[in-house]
Amino acid sequence: MATLEVPTGGAPLTILSEDEAMFRDAVRQFADEQVRPLVHEMDEKQQMDPSLILQFFELGLMGIEVPEEFGGTGASFFTAALVVEELSRVDASVGVLVDVQNTLVNNAFLRWGSEELKARYLPQLTAERVGAYALSEAGSGSDAFALATRAVEAEGGYRLTGQKLWITNGAEAEIFIVFANINPEAGYKGITAFIVERDFDGFSVGKKEDKLGIRASSTTELVLQDVLVPAENVLGEVGKGYKTAIETLNEGRIGIGAQMIGIGQGALDATIRYVQEREQFGRTIASFQGVQFQIAAMATELEAARLMVYNAARLKDAGQPFVQEAAMAKLFSSEVAQRIASKCIDLYGGFGFTREYPVEKFYRDSKIGTIYEGTSNMQLQTIAKNLLK
């Protein structure tokens, strides 16, 4: 299968260029034709279809920002957000797998990796190997720097010991960015990012979580037992992992915003079709003004969320400050996705509460948006800090 043609040019802030629109439409067609038939089964089995992952690589969706010299498509961060949105419109589990690969893993390599690390790992990440970002632990969720995973200097590198929880892509990934503290006495200034491969001795993937939503996306425990990591596999500087984590997550939150607007759009699309088919009192429920107003209000909120996400992505690509805008976009889009999915269930009535119809899955999938890559309260804290500094 040929790689999709990906635009590299810029565009005005709130609209898509012709190339961007064409690329978005190509991803939308792929999602409708290849992903949609598998959604229900993947959700039931709690497993991503392996054939889809192969297609993600073949289509160039796993290395959108990566330069062509490393096997990527050399496109923009904004393009990655478009991809995540369109995939999430059909299945948010698919959207987040591609999102983590691009906005967290590849992004961290591009920004913090040595030339040797980029040359070694980026061609693998764009062609065949899934990546994961391992920061969270049982005692360090929102307090991400209360890490218990330790790194001790050893001959040839560092030995890592600890446990990570809630790691997206954990079941499929072969390359992991793992955060550990090399100097606990120094607090967050001892945190360091390491590149760990799945086959390193002492490394294992543990329990897979049984989740409310995004069930086809794997969320797992990672166990590190005296894992020897070569010194050259330090990502960024020793003791500067906190900076890597913060700045990568700031960018990743835009990707989550894109996932949320995709969920909202998918739920709204399904509901618009349904209300034009469902009849009550001798006419379609779409003919009732009360239903029309609810549809209009949801579409308006969704468009506002979309523009916030797009704006944050454009700012990031332009090299402008975007942290506040990214936090606002994630906060608002995740809340909008939940409101829309909930209201769509109401409009479906009893059918909406069953798994025979798609809106209950959109509702389940939407909940994670206010939790991962920074809870809503953490986004409010970031916004307030930026406004009051």
Classify residue 342: in a domain, yes or no. Answer: yes
Give residue 3's region: left, alpha or beta (phi > 0; psi -120 to 50).
beta
**Quick one: which of 83, 108, 292 has its CA closest to 193?**
108
Give the rounded distance of the alpha carbon of 266 from its chain centre. 17
Q: Are residues 249 and 366 in the same domain?
A: yes
The pLDDT assigned to 18 comes to 85
* Domain match, 349 and 274 both: yes
Query: What is the token pair recorded at 44?
Result: 């039931």
Strands (E), the chain: 131-134, 150-154, 157-168, 175-181, 191-197, 203-208, 219-230, 234-235, 279-280, 283-284
Asked if residue 142 and residue 114 are part of one domain, the reply reads no
pLDDT level of residue 10 (50, 70, 90 thresholds): very low
Three-state secondary-structure class, residue 188 = helix
d(CA 291, CA 313): 33
pLDDT band at 17 (very low <50, low <70, confident <90, very high): confident
Q: Are residues 248 and 224 in the same domain?
A: no
Mean pLDDT of 336-358: 97
Domain residues for the domain of 108 are 18-129
Give the pLDDT score at 4. 56
DSSP assignment of 52-96, as one string? HHHHHHHTTTT-SSS-GGGTS----HHHHHHHHHHHHTT-HHHHH
376 plus 258 within the same structural domain: yes
Return d(Cα 275, Cα 348) in angstroms, integer.
8
Residues 190 and 309 both lie in one domain: no
Read off the pLDDT of residues 38-51 as tens digits, 9 standing for 90 and up.
999 999 999 999 99
Number of domains in the chain: 3
Could you confirm whether 373 is annotated as catalytic? yes
d(CA 262, CA 255) in angstroms, rounded, equals 11
Q: Which two tokens stand for residue 104?
A: 């967290």
Q: What is the CATH number of the domain that holds 246?
A: 1.20.140.10
What global pTM score does this model have? 0.95
User: Exactly one of 86, 251, 360, 373 is catalytic; which is it?
Assistant: 373
Whether residue 211 is found in the same domain as residue 264: no
Query: Using one digit for the tens of pLDDT, what is the confidence trace for 72-118?
Result: 999 999 999 999 999 999 999 999 999 999 999 999 999 999 999 99
